[in-house]
Amino acid sequence: MRFILSIDQGTTGTTACLIDAETFLFVGKVNNEYPQLFPHPGWVEHNLNDIWSSVELSVTQVLKTFNVQGSQIVSIGITNQRETTCAFNKDGLPLANAIVWQDRRTNEYCQQLKSQNELSAKIKTLTGLPIEPYFSASKMNWLLKNNQAVKLASQNSDLLLGTVDTFLLYRLTDKISFKTDASNASRTMLMNLKNASWDQDLLKLFEIKSEQLASIEDSFHHFGFTKNLSFLPDGIPITGILGDQQSALFGQAGFYEGEMKCTYGTGAFVLLNTGTNLIYSKSGLLTTVEYKHKGITYYALEGSSYIAGAAVQWLRDNLKIISKSSEIETLALQVKNLDELKNILFFPFFSGIGSPYWNADAKASIMGLTRDTNLNHISYACLEGIAMSINDLLTAMKEDTGLAIKTLKVDGGAVENNLLMQLQSNISETTIIKPKIIETTSYGAALAAAVGSGTVEINQLKNIWQKDKEFNINDSLVSYVTDKKKLWKDTIHSFYRNS
């Protein structure tokens, strides 16, 4: 048998997956977590050596677990946390911790740029993005101004900057391939959406040299070959790279205009494929690249909720009210009378608010507690808060496109929580459809690798997607949900909306 290896480098860990190269059946996966670093309030970092070690360990274990030899791997696909910013030298050695997409340290700098109205409008037109600490450009600028090792490397022409895919590719190819794809580059706030090239005006604004950035390639492309690795043989082609959310949409067979999905991971992200149409949002969404293929750029509208599964992790790791994430559903299901929850709101804004409000200063909160509030109520409110945040994204999507969203494909680890999926259906008045393969981020990277290797065309993959389960609206809860959505919206506008 021959296999495609998918490397899914995420915010909390790395997943290595094997997919049958002939049938595209999902064979299996191994995941390894690595530490999250919080050196100051609002700062989130990753050690690049930890990331690399998690990749090496996950790949080694998935081959061993499923009794596969490295020689059976015909191609590799990479998908990754997107805006997280890496600084390393030409020997591939980290110069600083990666600054994670959730990090807010550049908020003041971004606010200064935002105050220049013409500049904000220009950047939105060029990149499809608002000026936010979320994206890579301000993180790169911060490293260049504040990290001595990065400063010195820049002075000595020994600095390479990029997103995580670029770092992994550079290491996998033994420092030969310094490249990225258009979907990742579109998240840096440095790429011109219309021509998928680094914008010289933006490089000048953020004081970044073009030679410090990787070349931007098609998403399905021969990026390089493995070389001098302890865990894989030389010569395996790396033929697909996609940012994690774009990869999830691709794994959901969202290849063409009109396809939509929501991924429930650390954060939650809704993407709508708009084809070759470059649509600018009027409702707080992002315009981004879905993928680039044969020189043609395909776009998407995106809604970004920074915290989803991470809210459950907070209950587990910080409050310790659960020992594993799956227990939250058991607790929440103990709530039998929803009247006990009618005034309780859980706002999971631990890293600010992304779409559609864009308030980087926002903080998480739980409101409406009384003396009889217990862990069951808080667990339910947490899941409800995640679903409410995602509903805000879907509402913005409807406003921008005029689409009546009747169905929504979902994926990611949290879709195993049936209560969360039912809540999403009730709140968004939408049928929620879960696929048989919920690891669609990893799966999408494998499909990208297959297309990039030339063994299959995109239109030949359309029928691989299969439904597992769907969740439909519970009409008996309409009154409760209507009141709760109004309370949520009123509270957002009163306390959280960024004026």
Domain boundaries, the chain: 3-252
CA terminus-to-terminus distance, the chain: 58
CA 61/CA 351 separation, integer angstroms: 33
Instruction: For residue 449, give every residue at least 6 positions away whose Cβ sits within 8 Å of its Cβ, in sequence order, or none.
Output: 4, 6, 75, 76, 77, 220, 238, 239, 240
Q: How far is CA 406 from CA 119, 263, 474, 482, in A?
A: 38, 17, 14, 18
- Number of neighbours of residue 283 by Cβ within 10 angstroms: 17
Amino acid, single-letter form, for residue 419: L
Name the residue with tokens 């033994």.
174
Residue ranges for the chain with pLDDT beneath 50: 499
Cβ proximity of 298 and 291 under 8 Å: yes
d(CA 274, CA 259): 8
Contacts 24+ apart (CB under 8 A), 94-97: 94/47, 94/48, 94/49, 95/147, 95/149, 95/150, 95/153, 95/159, 96/143, 96/147, 96/149, 96/150, 97/37, 97/45, 97/46, 97/47, 97/48
Bridge partners of 270? 262, 303
Degrees, nearest 5: CA angle 239-243-247: 75
**Which pLDDT does position 498 carry in this prediction?**
59
Closest Cα to residue 414, out of 233, 264, 301, 194? 264
Whole-structure pTM value: 0.89
Residues 6+ apart with CB under 8 A from 189: 123, 127, 129, 131, 135, 136, 137, 138, 202
Query: Kindly report the CA angle at 54 between 234 and 243, in degrees rounded to 5?
Result: 80
Residue whose token pair is 């631990």: 350
Sheet holding 26-33, edge to edge: 26-33, 13-20, 3-9, 73-80, 237-243, 220-225
- Backbone torsions φ then ψ of 487, nearest 5 degrees: -60, -40
Cα dist from 369 to 177, 373, 375, 378, 423, whole Å: 54, 6, 11, 9, 21
Other C-beta atoms within 10 Å of 121: how many?
10
Contact call for residues 88 and 114 (beta carbons, < 8 A):
no
Residue 368 φ/ψ region, left for φ over 0, alpha for ψ in the -120 to 50 degree band, beta for the rest: left
Distance separating alpha carbons of residues 136 and 122, to the nearest angstrom = 17
Asked: is 3-252 a CATH 3.40.50.2300 domain? The reply is no
pLDDT at residue number 499: 44
CA dihedral 293, 299, 303, 309 (to 10 degrees): -10
Is residue 206 within 8 Å of residue 161, measured between CB atoms? no
